[in-house]
Amino acid sequence: MFPEPLSWRTPRAWLACAIVLLMLLVPVFAQWAGSSFYLGFATRIVVFAIAASGLNLVLGYGGMVSLGHALYVGLGAYVVGIAAFHGITNGWAQLAIALALAACVAAVTGLVSLRTRGIGFIMITLAFGQMFYFLAVSLKTYGGDDGLPLGERSQLAPLPALDGKLALYYLALGLLFLVMFAVWRAVHSRFGMVLRGFHANERRMLAAGFPRLRYQLTAYVLSALVCTLAGFLQGNLTAFASPSYLSWQASGELILIVVLGGMGTVMGPLVGAVVLLVLEELLSGWTQHWMAILGPLILLVALVSRRGIWGAVLQWEKRR
């Protein structure tokens, strides 16, 4: 899956700028509406977009279908919760611990998972995700199946305290833009070209002398770190760490966001998160059978465009 070229004179670029502008103006709309719900909901969208961007690196560009990436989201949230439980509220220390732990876990699980292909890779990542899910459930000291409430949110001095919804939103949004830019740079680098080459034709890349495990493991660890960053924000957003953050259903939702928005595109995860979460919120308010409506809508998108919503935009622009 090859990334789209960058040009500021295309409809796609104007649409991307419009989406970014709307995200920046969400707090203004929330204040005008007189409800903090919209700001919290928008922060949730941004957090999911960050996690989906991390997954997109291995799924969209690397062709590796991981059904266990929610493991790293939950890991980030639990590090925040457990650290706060023991009186460590320094956000920088929490983030460093979370990223270091995630890197170690991803390196070990990646080394095992990447020995397989296709359905084997999917099932092994699913197995690792469920192992950590049941580990979180078994931690009775930290809430077990009921989860762990966050006594105090992270302190990221000299940044504003994350107790305020506005500060947390803009921090998450800034990190999302940073992650999107880093993904764009990565997939246009030599590393990204090799990674996409293995997705397109693994046999030819091996014949050219490129080490598959080194490149794919690096991508896997990097994607895990991005998901852990999303988990750190998720823990501060909900002031809670729950085993459900690590479940296979959460991993499936991340895959759905990537596929719906557009695999192998930088904007896809953000578009997918906006569309999926907004539809869930609207449809669940109309009927308790909202999943029966959401399913066919997702199927329709898949039938219209193999690369999701943003892929359809790219196809339309190419035809023009």
- The answer to whether the bond into 158 is cis (omega within 30° of 0) is yes
Please determine, for residue 4, whether its predicted confidence score (pLDDT) is greater than 80.
no
User: Can you give the pLDDT at residue 102?
Assistant: 96
Confidence class for position 320, pLDDT limits 50, 70, 90: low
Contacts (Cβ under 8 Å, ≥6 apart) of 316:
11
**CATH for 11-319, among 1.10.287, 1.10.3470, 3.90.660, 1.20.5?**
1.10.3470
The pLDDT of 117-142, averaged and rounded, is 92
* Residue 69 Cα distances to 172, 173, 289, angstroms: 19, 21, 28
What one-character DSSP code corresponds to residue 161?
P
**CB-hemisphere CA count at 13 Å for 249?**
3
CA distance 220 to 226: 10
pLDDT digits 0-9 by tens, 184-199: 999 999 999 999 999 9
**What pTM does this model have?**
0.93
> 2 pLDDT band (50/70/90 cuts)?
very low
pLDDT over 50 at 3, yes or no: no
pLDDT digits (tens, 9 = 90+) for 205-242: 999 889 999 999 999 999 999 999 999 999 999 999 99
Burial per residue of 179-215, b for 16 or more beta-carbon CB atoms within 10 angstroms, e otherwise:
bbeebbebbeeebbebbbbbbeeeeebeeeeeeeeeb
Query: Are the CB atoms for 237 and 165 separated by under 8 Å?
Result: no
Report the distance separating Cα 251 and Cα 166, nearest Å: 28
Whole-number pLDDT of residue 298: 83
pLDDT-above-90 percentage for the chain: 61
* Of the candidate ranges 29-33, 98-102, 120-124, 302-306, the one whose mean pLDDT is the lowest: 302-306
For residue 191, the number of C-alpha atoms closer than 13 Å in the C-beta half-sphere is 17
* Distances 96 to 100, 229, 239, 254 between C-alpha atoms, Å: 6, 10, 19, 24
Looking at the chain, the whole-number percentage of residues with pLDDT higher than 70 is: 97
Tokens at 132, concatenated: 């950590």
Pairing type for strands 148-149 and 240-241 reads: antiparallel
What is the reported pLDDT for 130?
94
pLDDT grade for 77, boundaries at 50, 70 and 90: very high
Determine the average pLDDT of the residues in 114-138.
92
- Burial state string for 60-94 with b = 16 or more CB within 10 A and e = fewer than 16: bbbbbebbbbbbbbbbbbbbbbbbbbeebbebeeb
Identify which has the larger pLDDT, 163 or 75. Answer: 75
pLDDT over 60 at 6, yes or no: no
Contact 125, 113 (CB under 8 A): yes
Rounded distance between C-alpha atoms, residue 64 and residue 68, angstroms = 11
Q: Note the pLDDT tens digit of each residue in 144-179.
A: 899 999 888 888 888 876 777 888 999 999 999 999
Beta bridge partners of 240: 149
